Amino acid sequence: MTGGYATTIGARPPRKKRGWVRSILRWIWRLAFWFVLISLLLVVIYRFVPVPFTATMAGDLLGGRGVTKDWTPLNRIDPDMARAAIAAEDGSFCDHWGFDFEAIAGAAVRNAKGGRIRGGSTISQQTAKNVFLWQGGGFFRKGLEAWFTLLIEGIWGKRRIMEVYLNVAETGIGTYGVEAGSHRYFGHGAASLTETEAARIAAVLPLPKKREGISPTGFTRRYGNTIRRRIGVIRREGLDACVR
């Protein structure tokens, strides 16, 4: 040993820390940032602009079916149509912030007992799904649905949510919105819907590819009659106050 320095033969320099974990986290952050930004922009745009197309409409086109739609402002749709939608789909529409947890729990209990499967989705959730997402289940899609539901509740408000819902909801095979549905079934626009006609369209909404709004039979007819009776309750109790 000379000069006071010691050396180790065969020693390797310290390994640099791998940066792959940091890179993945950075990409996840970027994806999240752009997702939030784009979703916010879309929601803001659709606050003022009619929704031009949806994934469900695309599915109809890919399936060889046409798409019939006619965007109509809420003030040109008979008020009984909004009341019928509330009566059929979401009795607490004006009171909740996008989610009706009591209805969700009730639907889960009924479904566990068997019989006709029912969901607990609100009109707000259905609108978020119809406009921004795709049909089907899964935790990932439901998570996205919850995110968009919160956005439209905060940015659109109830009246706009109802307007969009009544324009993008499927009302028959290849038919979207209550204006197109009204012409399909009754030969006139949604501005002159009767209580019975509005109730029949609302009865079609859960299964639009299997139910018909004109001359319905069986469950669809009974359900439509029930909705028609509920329309009066919605009106008298002011459960549609948020969309007037």
E-only strand ranges, 115-213? 170-172, 175-176
Mean pLDDT estimate for the chain: 88
Whether the Cβ atoms of residue 134 and residue 56 lie closer than 8 Å to each other? yes
Neighbours of 53 (CB within 10 A): 13
Whether pLDDT at 3 is above 80: no
Q: What is the pLDDT of residues 20-48, one digit of tens each?
A: 888 888 999 999 999 999 999 999 999 99
Whether pLDDT at 214 is above 90: no
Question: 53-243 falls under which CATH superfamily?
Answer: Biosynthetic peptidoglycan transglycosylase-like (1.10.3810.10)
* Predicted pLDDT of residue 1: 47
Q: What is the pLDDT of residues 50-75, one digit of tens each?
A: 999 999 999 999 988 899 999 999 99
Whether pLDDT at 172 is above 60: yes
Whether pLDDT at 196 is above 80: yes
Give the pTM.
0.86
Helix/strand/coil for 69:
strand
* Predicted pLDDT of residue 191: 97
